[in-house]
Every structure is written in structure tokens, then in C-alpha cells.
Amino acid sequence: MDEILQWLIGQLKLLGDIFVYLLPAVPATVEVTILSFALALAVGVVVGTVRVARIRIVSPLARVYTDVVRGVPLLVLIFFIYFGLGGVLNLGRLTAGVIALGVCYGAYIAEIFRAGILSIPQGQYEAALSLGMTRKQAFRHVIIPQALRMVIPPVANEFIACLKDSSLVSVIAMREITRAGREYFSRTFADFQVWLVVAILYLILTLTLSRLVSYMEKKFKMRGYGVAA
Amino acid sequence: MPLMILVLTGCGADDELSTLDRIERDGVLRIGTDATYIPFEYVSTETGQPEGYDIDLITRVCSELGVEPEFTVSPFDGIIAGLTTFKYDCVISAMTITANRAERVAFTRPYYNAGQTIAVTLDNDVIHGVDDLKGKRLGVQMGTTGMHLADSFEDVEVFPFDHIGAAFIDLENGHVDAVINDKPVTQIAVKEKGTIKIVGETLTSESYGIAVRKTDTLLLNRLNLILNELDNEGFFDELQKKWF
Amino acid sequence: MIRDIISCQNVCRSFGEQKALDDVSFKVQKGEKIVIVGPSGAGKSTLLRCINALEDIDSGSIAIDEVVLDRTHKDIAKVRSEVGFVFQHFHLFPHLSVLGNITLAQRVVRKRSPDESDTFATELLERFGLTGKAQSYPSELSGGQSQRAAICRAMALNPKILLFDEATSALDPESMSDVVEVMNFLAKDGITLLIVTHELSVARQVADRVMFMDEGRIEAIGPVDEILVNPQNQRVKDFLAKVLA
């Protein structure tokens, strides 16, 4: 009995140790995720709109972008941008990581946003035009605001996926949660315990994010849309 | 009582079918290696198979055992875990014998003597030795003795990479100031790249060993016997000439 | 001389094999109220949409106040802003309040100040019996209220012409009479109205002239009496017989 208690205390102490070691890396994970996703949102909304609007030259380019980026593994993208372009453009770790994640998720958000725009009834567009708005004005004041509200749930999911994928920047030696975990592990070989704490940390972050997103969904829901108005 | 027997067979303890027996019976030695470390082990771009100093050595060992080698490529920092979870039966991966590692695995006698060195870009005039590393950014490979050494230095920022090639690229791009790594691999990199140089003295003296599970004493003894024979034969010298 | 505010010449429009508009020609004078009736698929809605440049035409021409419509022209939006359109399904903007719906185009298209827009919008709401609904959202309005709000929105730009595309078809009878009352009200105001409808009562109450369309062609056009009370045209007679049965 005594032995089991000793072992338990030892384990808890180890877990606490790991937790303390990993905690300073959490802000880095959060920072990468937020910066990347902000970039992804900006890119996604623009590219999604361009794809729908069928503008000469630009729209086909947008199509190429979304196809290519979604067809390449994110890890490869990160390597390419950091080691490949990084030398030429002298991109720092955070910059390269943010660009890679932002460009990658931008493509997915573009597709989601495109679907969101297409889901807005044609009548909305016609009503805007009939009031004398130009195409640009109709998009800006009528279509896009509605599409943005429409896509909040799928975009929120992408945000959480982005948080988890931020772990990939550990390969360019950026100090975030996963890399810190691997460092601790390689110093002590406490494998199971390390990954347990890493998983818990990510879980805390994703759950917090989910709650935040639910809150936002409620706040921005258009009255009268969806199943539960 | 039944529970204990189950546990024993699960561990492959020597009094049931020993690992060595199983290897001889199956005719295959399963080997774990991190084939990203020229010239010890790397994957050939032509054949797609692992090649290198370590590969040649273990293949010779296999032929002495009368079995075929079967390689599993695994990232270095997970490679011991793979051994203890029976994914393979030995590890040869330019792995330095350390007390820390010896707590988890058993090492054969050393088969190679290496040491850590400092590599910098050719135009670097600031770093001449270990004393100049204060306040600098160091690139290392995750989980290696190079990383542990770098960690022990005061006032440095350590950046561990999955494979050492990435650390060297980082060095060339100017994102780290120096790379701490085993001498032999660094020497090859210096020769191939032409953009970096080694400065200062060799910082440590380290030996490479083949790792097996602690319970596989029969296998360990047999490997040691073979390695001794190969040493007497001059096989190690041959390999040195071939790869360096 | 009274200008033709709408002038259609030999307008043709096909959807694949289907001829939606087949050589349609007619003129509307300023201040006239034209009600367009006919069986489903006659091309009534298509005609209206072409007049508001929401659809292309394959041949012929349409001129609004002597400006020929050209959808590719960069100022087409300006021409559209002079023509108001009321849709069968309202198409109010759900993400804006009722007030927001009415002020949006004022600010964005006419560049009026927010205050000016708000004031005018409130006036319109009062005029059309929607006082107090300014802060409501479209989802909170009844059918009749929604359509009246849509009319307010269309009127916010002081259009010369107001087009109604089956505006009462989606409403219950009570709401419908509310909207017809609005049409009457607007009729007295001097604005030009083009109303496509299934309801012949609307024609009787509001119209100066009635236009009967069938299979993409104008079969008859003339004063209410001529078309609906004593129809000469056989097709009109058949149509009325079916509808009034």
C-alpha cells in the first residue's frame, strides 16, 4: 500500500514537473495559432470572394492557389517556406510558421467562404442590384456580411484544427508545446507522462476555444436564420 | 500464477524463447535506425535503401549470425521507445553510449569513437571555440548528445531539429550561430557543403554502441563476440577508410 | 410632350429552347399604372426583370426615360436606382434591421448622410403603416409587414418607376389587401407603376391600362374595360373564363 502511494506521489510530481516545463511554451502555441488564423481569415475571405466573383485572370489564379495548397501536406509547406524560401527571404521561425499555416488554412477557409456565399439566395443579390448597387457594393454590404455569419461554425472548426496543426512548427525548432514536450522527453525518456501532459494542454486550449466560438456564434447569429432561431 | 507466465512470455525473457533464438529461427534481425545521418546511416536516393557505416557494420554482423537484416527507419528521439516496445530487436544509429540511455537499454562494446564539435559558417569570425558560445543560438539534433551538451552551456538558446541536415541549413541561413554535433557527421557536412567549417577543439569523447533491450543478454553477448572478431579482423578500419 | 418613361422595342429573350419573350413592344408614359396579367409562364416576370436589367435580352431594346439599357455599361447601376423592384418573396436583408434595410441604399447609392437616411426611412415607415418596426428584424415581421417594408426600401431612393413582381402572391388574403391598399396609395402619388399579378382585382382597382401576355407575347393591351370587362381577344376570354370559374 505504502509503495503504491509512493509511486503515485512520484508520478504526480513528475506530471507537475512536466507541466511547469511546458507551460512557458503555451503562449507560443497560442501566438502562432492566432496570427496564422488571422492571416488565413484575411486570405480566405478575399480568395473565396474572388472565386465567386469570376474576375478575369484573378479568379483562375485563386482556383490554382486553393487546389495547390490543399493538395500539399502542411508539413511539406512548412519545410518549403522555412528552409526553401526562408534562406532567400530571410524569414524568421515565427514568420515562416505563420505564413505556412496562414496560407494553408487560407485555402480551406476560401472554400468554406465560397460555399457560404453561394448559399446566400440569389434574390438577395438581385434585391441589392435592383436598389442601384454595383456588384461590388452588393457583395460588400449584402452578400459578404451574410456569408460571414453563415460560415461561423465551419470556420470555428478550422480554427481548432489550426491550433492542433500549430504543433507542426516544432519541426522548424520553434518553441511551442509539442517541441517543448519532445525536448523534455528526449532528456528524461518519460514518454507516457510527457505526452499525457501535452495532450491535456492542447485539450484545455481547444475546449476553451470551443466555448469562445459558441459564444461568438450566439452573438452573431442572424435573427431568424438556422433551426434554433 | 497464470498472470506471471503471461508477463514472462510477453517480455521474451531468456528462459522461454530468447530473442536470439527467435532471430535465428526467423532468419531476420530487425533493426531500428534513424537514416538521416550521413555517413552513418542515410537512405540512398538511388536505391531507396538505407546505406552507411552503421548499415555496413550491422549487415556484416547479420551475415555472421546467418540472418538477413530488416531495417525500420525511425526518428532519433523515438528510437529507443521503438526498441523497448519490440518494434525491432536492436538499434544502430550513431548512438552515443550514455549512462542515461544505459538505464533503459543495454549497449554493446563501442564500435566507433566520436566527439562533439562546433560548426559555424565560413565567414564567422566571432566564434572560435566553446568560450565564444555565450549568448549565441545553437542548432542541434533532437535527443542527441549534442543537444544535451548544448543544454549544459550557460546563456545559450538551443534549437533542436528533427534531423541534423535541417540544423545545418538553419546555420547557412543565419538563423542559428553554430551547430553542435558529432565530429564525423559534421566533417562530412563540411566537405559536402563547402559553406561551413569546424572551429575549436573536439569537445567530448564519445563512443557509439549498438543498443538492445536489457533483458536480451544472450543477444548482447553474441553481438559483443562478433564485434570483437570484426575489430581483430580490421573490419572497422576498412569501414573508416570507406566512409571517411 | 409627354415622354415615354419605359419603351420596349421588339424585345426577345429565350432560355435555351424556351422563348420567354417573343418580340415584345410597348410604351409606358410617365405616371401610368400598367397591370400585367396572363397565365403562368407567359413571360410577365421575365419582362419585368428585363426592364430592371436583372436579366439580359437577346435582341431588341429597352429604354428607361429614353436611356437605352445596357447591362454591361458601367453606369447601369445608376439606371437601376431610378427603378424600384418589389419581389414576390420580399428579399429583405436579414442581417439588417428594418431601418437598416431602408437606409442602406440611401447611404451607399445616393450617398445621403445617416441622419437624412434615417429621417426619410422613418417617414416611409409611417406612411406605410410600419411605425415602431424600425428596430425589428425581417424575421420578426409578418408577410404583409415584410412586403410593406420591402416597398419602403424600394421607395427610399425616390424611384421614377416601381415594378411589382407578383408582390401579393406569397401573402395571405388579409396581408394582400394591405399591400393592394399601398399600391393604390402609390398610384395616387403620380409614380409610374408596372404590376405583374395573378389578382385581377388589383387590375380593376389600380390600373390605367391592362396588358395581357401569353407565351411570351403581348396578346392585348388597353384600358381595364376593354381587356377585362369586354375582352375582344379569344385568348383573354379563355383566360378569364378559367380564372373566374
Residues B135 and B22 in one domain: no
When pLDDT is cut at 50, 70 and 90, the band that residue A226 belongs to is low
CATH at B231: 3.40.190.10
pLDDT at A158 over 80: yes
Would you state the pLDDT for residue C85? 95
Q: Which of B142, B148, B193, B195 to probe the A interface (max A CBs under 10 A)? A: B142
Chain A closest-CA separation from residue C47 CA (Å): 14
- Break chain C into its structural domains and give their ranges: 4-244
Q: Report the chain A residue with the minimal C-alpha distance to residue C162.
A: A130
Residues B105 and B55 in one domain: yes
Chain B closest-CA separation from residue A204 CA (Å): 26
Q: Please report which residue ranges of C40-197 form alpha helices under DSSP H.
A: 44-51, 76-81, 98-108, 114-127, 143-155, 173-189
Residues B222 and B184 in one domain: no
Instruction: Calculate ∠ Cα B157-B163-B167, nearest 5°.
Output: 40
Would you state the pLDDT for residue C43? 87
pLDDT in tens, B172-226: 988 999 999 988 888 888 888 888 998 888 888 888 999 999 999 999 999 999 9
Would you state the pLDDT for residue B13? 47
pLDDT in tens, B103-144: 999 999 999 888 899 999 988 888 888 888 899 999 999 888
End-to-end alpha carbon distance in chain B:
55
Q: Report the chain A residue with the minimal C-alpha distance to residue C95.
A: A222
Q: Cβ separation of A87 and B173 shorter than 8 Å?
A: yes
Q: Cβ separation of C83 and A130 shorter than 8 Å?
A: yes
Dihedral sign, Cα of residue C212, residue C218, residue C224, residue C229? negative
Pairing of strands B157-161, B112-114: unpaired
Complete DSSP assignment for B9-69: HHHT-TTSS-HHHHHHHHTEEEEEE--EETTTEEE-TTT-SEESHHHHHHHHHHHHHT-EE
When pLDDT is cut at 50, 70 and 90, the band that residue B1 belongs to is very low
Would you state the pLDDT for residue C89? 92
Instruction: Calculate ∠ Cα C143-C145-C146, nearest 5°.
Output: 65
Structural domain containing residue B214:
2-112+207-243
Q: Cβ separation of A223 and C108 shorter than 8 Å?
A: no
Residues B75 and B122 in one domain: no
Q: How far is CA A67 from CA A49, A62, A102, B4, C210, in A?
A: 16, 9, 15, 57, 55
Residues B86 and B138 in one domain: no
Q: What is the pLDDT along chain C (245 residues), one digit of tens a residue?
A: 567 888 888 899 988 888 889 889 989 988 889 999 988 888 899 999 999 989 888 888 898 888 888 878 878 888 899 999 999 999 999 999 999 999 999 999 999 999 999 999 999 999 998 999 999 999 999 988 999 999 999 999 999 999 999 988 888 888 888 888 888 888 888 889 999 988 888 888 888 899 999 888 888 888 888 888 888 888 888 888 887 76
How much of chain B, in percent, has pLDDT values that exceed 70? 93
To 10 degrees, the CA torsion angle through C201, C202, C203, C206?
Answer: 130
- Architecture of the domain made up of C4-244: 3-Layer(aba) Sandwich (3.40)
Pick from C52, C108, C139: CB nearest A130: C52
Complete DSSP assignment for B202-234: ----EEE--EEETT-HHHHHHHHHHHHHHHHHT
**A186 contacts chain B (CB < 8 A):** yes
> ipTM value of the model?
0.90
Walk me through the domains of chain A, giving residue ranges and CATH numbers: 2-220 (1.10.3720.10)
Q: Name the β-bridge partners of C37.
A: C212
**In the structure grid, which three cell numbers stand for residue B63, read together?**
551475415
Would you state the pLDDT for residue B200? 84
Q: Cβ separation of A186 and B174 shorter than 8 Å?
A: no
Q: Name the amino acid, one letter, at A22.
A: L
Q: Which of B80, B91, B170 to probe the A interface (max A CBs under 10 A)? A: B170
Q: Cβ separation of C54 and A126 shorter than 8 Å?
A: yes
Q: Which of A126, A131, A135 to probe the C interface (max C CBs under 10 A)? A: A131
Dihedral sign, Cα of residue B92, residue B95, residue B99, residue B101? negative
The rounded radius of gyration (Å) of the Cα atoms in chain A is 22
Domain total in chain B: 2
Would you state the pLDDT for residue B6? 46
Complete DSSP assignment for A147-178: HHHHTHHHHHHHHHHHHHHGGGGGGGT--SHH
How much of chain B, in percent, has pLDDT values that exceed 90? 46
Residues B160 and B215 in one domain: no
